[in-house]
Amino acid sequence: MLKITNARVFVGGEFIDREIGIEGGMVAHIGNVGESDETLDAKGQWLLPGLIDPHVHLREPGATHKEDFASGSRAAIAGGFTGVIDMPNSDPPTTTVQALHEKKDLAKKSKCEVFFHFGAGENNFVEIKKANPSSLKIYMGETTGKMYLDGRTVETHFERFPKEKPVVIHAEGNNIKKAIELAKKHNHRIHLAHAPSAAAVRDAKTWEKATVEVAPHHLFLSDAFNPKLAAVKPPLQTESERQELWSVLNDITCIASDHAPHTLEEKEKGAYGFPGLETTFALMLKAYYERHIPFPWLMQRLAENPARIFSLGKRGKIEKGYMANLILVDPKKEWTVKGEELQTKCQWSPYEGWKLKGKTILAIVQGKIVYQENEFV
């Protein structure tokens, strides 16, 4: 058994002083653990549930020059994420059972847990049924890859995919309302990815079975950002729209990085997306320190809600019988974002030079220490 002592443990919505005992990959004890094979002294740091990012593009297969499961999972762990859900717009796309199995094999080298959204295609209804995924991603907007769908095909996916499982939608503008109307028509769960504005969040929340995520770049960057690097889908909004997005925080269900790495050369040619796994948590901690959000809100949106929405089992909380996916965070650690020091292959960040506070110093995945003091075990 691994015993963690002297930690400020986040349990039940608050910090408490408790020992944690880990056995068989699970949280076995919370309280006085007693004898153990190994003891880890947390030295007063925060012990949190491992974060879960429901929206990442790890680029393997097909674009491993900008990321792969090894580098992307290291970026996730360094950023506090012990689990991620990979998007299907790789090359080939994750729209067949074979492609999914091949991707799972490639992901075996990951340092964190990796789950997968299955992709909706023009006519892959049989493949979806065979794969029986926990979520289906539909692209109702143009982005990286060739998975854009419209018209009758989209509605057929809503008709055929199990109503109790979420359809994850990439949509922009009027297509957001169209997606919500389809969900209402078919009484279907729906998850709106990377909502860029307060209006998009409000549109989603007109349906009781809708959940909605927001990416940090829509919260922290506006369309005044460096035009050479600004391309992202959905696009950055005006400064007033960016500020308004903060006004609907309580309607946001998840914070997701939408980690979408490209080389700097590709970005300057207009490639869509930003790397974000290593900055998302620290940026949201910035909002916490500036008293924009309470800490329990943050843990719900970064850990508990993603696990619940996407049926990831007993994850997202520190609780007896839950998976021992945990992070130890130094809340006072100040650091400056430097692309050359990041784990992501692309080695740049839209937040270059930003001074942030709060750093993951240790990570445990399925009961095993995988990261400690900037080193991967």
- CA 117/CA 95 separation, integer angstroms: 10
48 neighbors 28 (Cβ within 8 angstroms): no
Q: Look at residue 341 in the predicted model and tell me its pLDDT.
A: 97
Phi–psi pair at 350, nearest 5 degrees: -70, -10
Per the omega criterion (within 30 degrees of 0), is the bond before 92 cis? yes
Phi–psi pair at 325, nearest 5 degrees: -105, 105
- CA 150/CA 148 separation, integer angstroms: 7
Annotated catalytic residue, options 17, 68, 258, 330: 258
**What residue ranges of the chain have pLDDT lower than 70?**
none
Residue-wise pLDDT for 168-196, tens only, equals 999 999 999 999 999 999 999 999 999 99
Element (H, E) at 254: strand 254-255
Long-range contacts of 234-242 (CB under 8 A, 24+ apart): 234/141, 234/172, 234/194, 234/195, 234/196, 234/200, 235/196, 236/196, 237/196, 237/197, 241/196, 241/197, 241/198, 242/218
Cα dihedral 166, 111, 341, 64 sign = negative
Q: Look at residue 3 in the predicted model and tell me its pLDDT.
A: 97
Q: Look at residue 21 in the predicted model and tell me its pLDDT.
A: 97
SS3 281: helix
pTM summary value: 0.97
Take residue 80 and report the two structure tokens written for it.
């506090």
User: Is residue 258 annotated as a catalytic residue, yes or no?
Assistant: yes
Q: Look at residue 305 in the predicted model and tell me its pLDDT.
A: 98
CA end-to-end distance (rounded Å), the chain: 18
Residue-wise pLDDT for 298-319, tens only, equals 999 999 999 999 999 999 999 9
- CA 18/CA 157 separation, integer angstroms: 47
115 neighbors 323 (Cβ within 8 angstroms): no
**Architecture of the domain whose range is 2-47+322-332+355-376:** Roll (2.30)
- State the fold for domain 51-309: TIM Barrel (3.20.20)
- The 10 Å Cβ neighbour count of residue 169 is 28
| Beta-carbon-side half-sphere exposure of residue 241 (alpha carbons within 13 Å) | 17
- CA 181/CA 24 separation, integer angstroms: 45
CA angle 106, 108, 112 (to 5 degrees): 120
Q: Look at residue 331 in the predicted model and tell me its pLDDT.
A: 98
- Quickly list DSSP for 83-95: EEEE-S-SSS-S-
Number of H helices, E strands in the chain: 12, 18
Q: Look at residue 34 in the predicted model and tell me its pLDDT.
A: 86
Q: Look at residue 143 in the predicted model and tell me its pLDDT.
A: 77
Domain ranges of the chain: 2-47+322-332+355-376, 51-309
Q: Look at residue 141 in the predicted model and tell me its pLDDT.
A: 80
- The 10 Å Cβ neighbour count of residue 374 is 11
Residue-wise pLDDT for 251-282, tens only, equals 999 999 999 999 999 999 999 999 999 999 99
